[in-house]
Structure 1
Amino acid sequence: MANRMEPDRAARSPPQWTRSQAAGIERTDETVAPIVYPPDSEIDPDVHLWDTWLLRTRDGSIAEIDGYRVIFSLTAPSDLLPGTRHDVATIRYFYSSDGRNWTCGGPVFPEGTAFGSRQWAGSALYDDDRLFLFYTAAGSRDEDDLSYTQRIAVGAGGRIAADENGVSIAGPFEHEILLEPDGEYYEREDQSRGMIYTFRDPWFFEDPRSGETCLLFEANTPIPDPEGEDRFDADPAALDFNGSVGIAVSPSGDPTDWTLEPPLLEGAGTNQELERPHVVVQDGSYYLFVSSHEHTFAPGITGYDALYGFVANSLRGEYAPLNDSGLVVTNPERAPFQTYSWLAYPHRDEILVSSFFNYYDLQGLSLDDVAYLPPAEQQRRFGGTLAPTLRLAAENAETRILGTLEHGHLPIADEDLPPLLSTFVDDGSGTESGDGYDDGTASH
């Protein structure tokens, strides 16, 4: 369980994503992804699939299991209404030998063995032939009514094997609660005044520069007295929106032993949810990415469902928002909820960004409106599979979308990507003009 960190780091004031920075959020040619249409076939028609992550090794490399890549996804039976999927979320694994065609291997954990009444997003480490699956334990096992208590947990010790029939994962797993909010750096549920409470999304990261073993996560900053708070450039009423990117450190490198430290980044007064935080190190820069929703921005700030990012010269550096506002990738104005839960990772000299195909063809409806549609229409308008992968360029504090790959195409290590064309212009009609993307798979 968590211990208190050393005094010199405790005095550090985390960098901020400020209201003035987020006020500059706007769609641009560099940040807007093309319209997404349904794929010819889904990865698995029997399940809704959303938040997804890759199996990695300690140094962040994507693991290869006898020629297979493995991904993990939150899933639910596809006959359930999409809006209820989080209430029964189960982590399943999928494998592929070419990064294009994925086979479902089934649930990772036997039913009833993991903590929580359901499991939310996390990350996966393959180390010394053992699988460590970090996850969010949401609620309590065997509870009658769903609760929203969140703790960071791990299933440790699983084994992965591959043969001509594919990949299998077997236990036994040793499940352990690793971290709970301390009420000082990270808000407890009983302290929350916000619209959404968060302590979730653990992401394993070993710093290539320092060698330090870290676990990033989404949280909220405790602000017990908003009227007396002078650390944030925001009105007291906006401080109920208090998202942060948390960090814990393993002094020994043991992936089951963690010490809480102050946040890497705070968004108090700006945004309530900084979801699925993760870091990409490229050309000496540390790129910190989070996903967030339009409805979790504090009053007075207009944001989008989007991937947001920040850059620093070290893991605990002074993070500056990418593209001045933090906006990196968002959906087109006429399809604002088509993708979500972005995950960035390096490939050659580019950054690839995967996500899941969310709600589409809403024709101006909000996500709240979707719940009032007939069940068949709710199902029809939900993608529930992997979205087209985006290709991203990052240089210093600026990024731009370069092109797209097919739905669920996560290129293997030695794969050459298609040649890039020069420009992309979305005229809002759903068709691309100019010399745009490397292929048309995102829009047909």
Structure 2
Amino acid sequence: MSAGRPARWTQRHLDLLVDAAATTAPVIDPAAMPRILPDHDLWDLWPVQEEDGSTCAISGQELWMALSAPVLGHPEERHDQARIRLLAKDGGSWTDLGHAFADGASPGSREWSGSAVRRPDDTVSVFYTAAGRRGETPPTFRQRVVEARPALVADGRRILLDPGAEHREILRSDGRMYLPAEEIIGMPGRIRAFRDPGWFRDPADGRDYLLIAASVAEDDRFSGAIALAGTRDGAWSLLPPLVVAEGVNHELERPHIIVHQSRYHLFFSTQRHSFHPADSAPTGLYGFAAPSLTGPYEPLNGSGLVLQNPRTEPDQAYAWLVLPDLHVVSFANYRSHPGLDLRSAGAAQARAGFGGTIAPTLKLALNGMTTSVIPAGT
């Protein structure tokens, strides 16, 4: 594989952004998203995949993972307690299968987003972000990519992961192509990134890759980027970035690729407060497309915007993930409160407006470099 030059996402592209029905999600009815875990928040959902990209199913149940934390205090504090949870999905019904890993198994003080793939030997490669260090107080924001490969244990409809699996650090930012994500203090949305490993097998060469939300230095400005890593003989190595947000955005989160009609569609999520200047573009799912894994990538719909929250509910959902069948999953974030950003509101008020569960599923239509949201029921 020969690495190409990264695509530059610039203000020129964002100037093409339009507020259109084709790229706007419908307003979510709170009644359409009951809490799956009454005592825990859920966010950042992803399926356990088969190596062909499809969702793993056992005894008729799909296997999924999500981040979880107890419903305590301000919703923004959930990131300091995040654990990966295993879930089963049977039609429209979800079943909690508990924490994916044993207490203290992770080398971090908490577990942030990632991806998972079932291997032919019935183990599951779980790639995730180890945030901080085990046992630290208070939590820091060091980030590195870890792989655990537990055996999948299924006894009828009871499914779990072997708790004795080793957790092995496989990647961290190198300080050259990617800025080190080693900050001691900070807060989500304001820290450097080296997280959210998204597994992808390239049909062109059959090799495994990881896409990672990263940070690079550009003209003395910090810019969000999507890093690429490849594996050979079991060892992972960093490759040049696929996309760099040149001075316009701080975080390109949860990157992932869907190959559709021989085109590589690279998707990521970002929030309105991560743009420079803040609120210059909406919270949404953004994307680029290319004829091969390494490019050249061009922004979808001219601007990169694929799916935004409606103007009346600018924070209703986040962390979108596009599946191979073009269905899109996300989690319910904050309902709108006139004149107030609930992320900075008091704990009780923020908690009252926070979803903390899985949002209704959407679906995309892809037509070359153009995308649109398919209306419900069609």
Verify same fold: TM over 0.5: yes
RMSD: 2.0
- Structure 1 residue aligned with 2:78: 85
Deviation at 1:302, TM superposition (A): 1.3
Give the Cα–Cα distance (whole angstroms) in 2 for the partners of residues 268 and 146 of structure 1.
30
Q: Which moved more, 1:354-363 or 1:274-283?
A: 354-363
Q: Which amino acid aligns with 1:328?
A: V
- Match for residue 49 of structure 1? 42
Q: Which runs of structure 2 are paired with 1:106-255 in the superposition (5 Å)?
A: 106-128=98-120, 129-164=122-157, 166-189=158-181, 195-223=190-218, 226=219, 239-240=221-222, 242-252=223-233, 254=234
User: Counterpart in 2 of 1:59?
Assistant: 52
**Does residue 260 of the first structure (1) align with residue 238 of the second (2)?**
yes
Return the match for 2:7 from 15, 34, 40: 15
1:353 maps to which of 308, 328, 337: 328
CA displacement 1:27-54 (0-9 Å, x = unmatched): 2111111111223632111210011100
Cα distance in 2 between the residues matched to 1:172 and 1:340: 33
How many Å apart are 1:369 and its aligned residue? 3.8
Greater Cα offset, 134-143 or 262-271: 262-271
**1:334: Cα distance to partner?**
1.2
Aligned residues: 373
Residue 288 (structure 2) aligns with: 310
- Partners of 2:75 and 2:320 in 1: how far apart? 19
Amino acid at match of 1:49: L
Residue 69 of structure 1: how far off its partner (Å): 0.4
For the Cα contact (< 8 Å) 2:5–2:296, is it kept in 1? no
TM, length-normalised to structure 1: 0.80
Cα deviation, 1:387-429, whole Å, max 9, x if unaligned, reads: 011111011110000124xxxxxxxxxxxxx5x1xxxxxxxxx
Structure 2 Cα separation of the partners of residues 191 and 23 of structure 1: 33
Partner amino acid for 1:208?
Answer: P
Contact 2:332/2:357, CA 8 A, preserved across alignment = yes
Deviates more, 1:123-132 or 1:36-45: 36-45
Range moving further from structure 2, 139-148 or 33-42: 33-42
Give the equivalent residue in structure 2 for 1:229: none
Q: Greater share of strand residues, 1 or 2? A: 2
Distance 2:191 2:328 in 1: 26
Provide the rounded CA distance (Å) in 1 between the counterparts of 2:181 and 2:161: 34
Asked whether the 8 Å contact 2:54–2:324 carries over to 1, the reply is no
Provide structure 1 residue ranges, at least 5 long, that are not aligned to the other structure. 1-5, 227-235, 405-417, 421-444
Q: Indicate if the aligned counterparts of 1:308 and 1:328 stay in contact, CA closer than 8 A.
A: yes
Gaps (5+ residues) in structure 2?
A: none
Written as runs of structure 1 = structure 2, the 5 A alignment for 1:424-443 is none
CA distance in 2, matches of 1:301, 1:320: 23
User: Once the 2 structures are TM-superposed, how far is the Cα of residue 198 of structure 1 from its aligned partner?
Assistant: 0.3
Q: 1:292 maps to what in 2?
A: 270
Deviations 1:223-243 (A, max 9, x none): 4xx3xxxxxxxxx5xx23x11
Larger Rg, first or second structure (1 or 2): 1
Q: State the AA in 2 paired with 1:357.
A: A
Offset at residue 300 of structure 1 (A): 8.2
The answer on whether the counterparts of 2:112 and 2:130 sit within 8 Å (CA) in structure 1 is yes
